[in-house]
Amino acid sequence: MTILFKNAKILTFSDDKIINGELLVKDNLIAYIGPKCTIKADKIIDCEGNLLMPGFKNAHAHTAMIFARSASDDLPLHDWLYDCIFPMEEKFIEGDIYHLTKVGILEYLSGGITSAFDMYFNPPEIVKACEEMGFREVILATSLKEPVSLVKERYINWNKKGSLISYNLGIHAEYTTPLERMKDISKLANELHAPVFLHIGETKDEVQGCVDRYGVTPLKLLDSLGMFNYGGGGFHCNYLSDEEITIAKKRNFNIVTCPASNLKLASGIAPIYKYQKAGLNIAIGTDGAASNNSLDMFKEMYLVSTLQKLTNNDASIMDGYDVLKMAVVGSAKAMGLDNCDTLSEGKYADIIMIDLSNPAMQPLNNIKKNIVYAGSKDIVKMTMINGKILYFDHKFLIDEDINQIYKKAQEITDRLKG
Ligand SMILES: [Zn+2]
């Protein structure tokens, strides 16, 4: 199957240019990008001058947590977690994660997100939902209930499972993980030459707790166990010390920032400009809908830029286009998705179309910055993953009844709340 996109503006992210031309998708790969494709395609889509670019990569998510969207708001972090979230999660039964994940995927598709780095319970159910819907997913399994032997087995098997699913090593966080488990995961990372990911530096209390327990800050502690000898990354990173920034640089440790969640839970503001100056790779995630409450990369990008301008008292920093690159290429790098980070021949066709006829995109002064500063999910006209168009003109093109997906999620949510 070949699909030719003609009359397009194309931002490949291989360089910074926007070109006018055509893009050919053959099966699940990009087969041509240039001024004029001479291959006869099975299907032709006239882009009418709209922009093609790689999809956004959501570098930190708990997709199935849509059940707690607006069911747990306006509470201090501790009460939110212990009085609302944990009691609801205790009521999960088989199949819940599978059904809930599907709603999150629909939200991703409508916002141009083509892959997520997902940390939640019951990974096989997440995999099933993603494969059925054609969504690209990087799984991070961190449950203490899963023995390290199972983690190893999944790492080896799931990373060759097919193009849509990949798997990484992780722990939930230092404060929720026994020292023995942290040592075991570090050992496994060294055996497999694998990176390790975790929540880190989200709150001041978390950092202080680690200092009280071990006498050192979390990143320093975990690095001393050899956890990041093959890289890794941290979700949130609101509070990394200068010493930890040096360690992060040395270990190619990726920073994944989630500003909306951090603001809503009053956790803090990550010093992204400082990390950027230190030369760290920066990725962007939404976190879960329980704390955000939307899974929307446009909101995150706007906050990444504007919060740094405000906190550094300098409107000239954190360029909008740099932030757009973080949401695409930076996130892809953190997630190990160098096979779909840019629009390039031979890479997976994870492509979105931005509607430049949307009033928020007019006039066309600077398309790249417009996406960050004026864009919203409204401007996403198409989402293609692995060569399949799953969303077009505000309609989902999947083989399932959307209302049934919502109905099932509502039933589960009502039970969890009851
Ligand atoms: Zn999280």
Protein fold of 56-334: TIM Barrel (3.20.20)
Query: CA 224, 227, 232 angle in degrees (round to 5)?
Result: 125
341 CB-near residues (< 8 Å, 6+ apart):
13, 54, 57, 328, 329, 332, 333, 347
pLDDT at site 163: 79
The 10s digit of each residue's pLDDT in 164-192 is: 999 999 999 999 999 999 999 999 999 99
Cβ proximity of 203 and 268 under 8 Å: yes
CA 281 to ligand 1 center in whole angstroms:
19
How far is C-alpha 373 from the geometric centre of its chain's CA atoms? 20
Distance (Å) of CA 167 to CA 160, 195, 236, 337: 9, 11, 20, 11
Percent of the chain with pLDDT over 70: 100
Distance from the CA of 309 to the center of ligand 1, in angstroms? 25
d(CA 312, CA 315): 8
Measured in Å, residue 322 CA sits from the centre of ligand 1 at 24
- Predicted confidence (pLDDT) per residue in 66-83, tens digit: 999 998 899 888 888 889
Distance between Cα 151 and ligand 1 center (Å): 19
- Where is 247: in which H helix or E strand? helix 242-250
Segment 149-173 mean pLDDT:
93
Spell out the residues 6+ positions from residue 204 whose beta carbon is closer than 8 angstroms to its own: 239, 268
How many Å lie between the centroid of ligand 1 and the Cα of residue 173? 9
Closest CA to 138 of 126, 151, 156: 126
Sequence-distant (6+) residues with CB within 8 A of 102 are 129, 132, 133, 400, 405, 408, 409
- Tens of pLDDT, residues 218-270: 999 999 999 999 999 999 999 999 999 999 999 999 999 999 999 999 999 99
CA of 120 to the centre of ligand 1 (A): 9
CA of 242 to the centre of ligand 1 (A): 23
Going by pLDDT thresholds of 50, 70 and 90, the confidence category of residue 161 is: low
> Taking Cα atoms as reference points, which of 226, 239, 241, 251 lies closest to residue 200?
239
From the CA of 172, how far away is ligand 1's center (Å)?
8
Compute, in angstroms, the gap from residue 60 CA to the centroid of ligand 1: 6
Q: Which DSSP symbol is given to 253?
A: E
pLDDT (tens digit per residue) in 100-143 = 999 999 999 999 999 999 999 999 999 999 999 999 999 998 99
62 CA to centre of ligand 1 in angstroms: 6
CA of 197 to the centre of ligand 1 (A): 11
Among 247, 266, 263, smallest CA distance to 255 is for 247
364 CA distance to ligand 1 middle (Å): 36
Q: Does the pLDDT at position 22 exceed 70?
A: yes
CATH of domain 2-53+348-396: 2.30.40.10
pLDDT at 357 over 80: yes
Tokens of 373: 């500063």
Full-prediction pTM beyond 0.85?
yes
pLDDT in tens, 193-215: 999 999 999 999 999 999 999 99
In the reported structure, the alpha carbon of residue 159 is separated from the centroid of ligand 1 by a whole-number distance in angstroms of 22
Q: Exposure of 148 by Cβ count < 10 A (0-12 exposed, 13-18 middle, 19+ buried)?
A: middle
Q: Residue ranges per domain, the chain?
A: 2-53+348-396, 56-334
What is the CA(147)–ligand 1 centre distance, in A?
21
In the reported structure, the alpha carbon of residue 2 is separated from the centroid of ligand 1 by a whole-number distance in angstroms of: 38
For residues 1 and 387, the answer to whether their CB atoms sit within 8 Å is yes
Asked if residues 142 and 174 have their Cβ atoms less than 8 Å apart, the reply is no
Give me the mean pLDDT over the 11-33 stretch.
Answer: 98
Residue 307 has pLDDT above 90, yes or no: yes
**8 A C-beta contact, residue 180 and residue 155:** no
pLDDT of residue 49: 98
Taking the centre of ligand 1 as the mean of its atom positions, its distance from the CA of residue 118, in whole angstroms, is 9
Residue identified by tokens 């629009």 is 343
Q: How far is the CA of 94 from the centre of ligand 1 (A)?
A: 22
Distance 160 CA to ligand 1 centre (A): 26
DSSP E strands: which ranges in 94-210?
113-118, 136-141, 165-173, 196-200
Give the pLDDT confidence of 308-354 residue by residue, as tens digits.
999 999 999 999 999 999 999 999 999 999 999 999 999 999 999 99
Q: At what angle do helices 402-417 and 96-110 cross, to 10 degrees?
A: 130
Cβ neighbourhood burial of 306 (10 Å; 0-12, 13-18, 19+): middle
Cα of 288 vs centre of ligand 1, distance in Å, is 6
pLDDT of 418 reads 86
The b/e string for 381-415 (b: 16+ C-beta within 10 A; e otherwise) is bbbbbbbbbbbbeeebebeeeeeebeebbeebbee
Note the pLDDT tens digit of each residue in 90-100.
999 999 999 99
Helix/strand/coil for 66: helix
Question: What pLDDT sits at residue 287?
Answer: 97
Question: Six-digit token pair at 83?
Answer: 């009085």
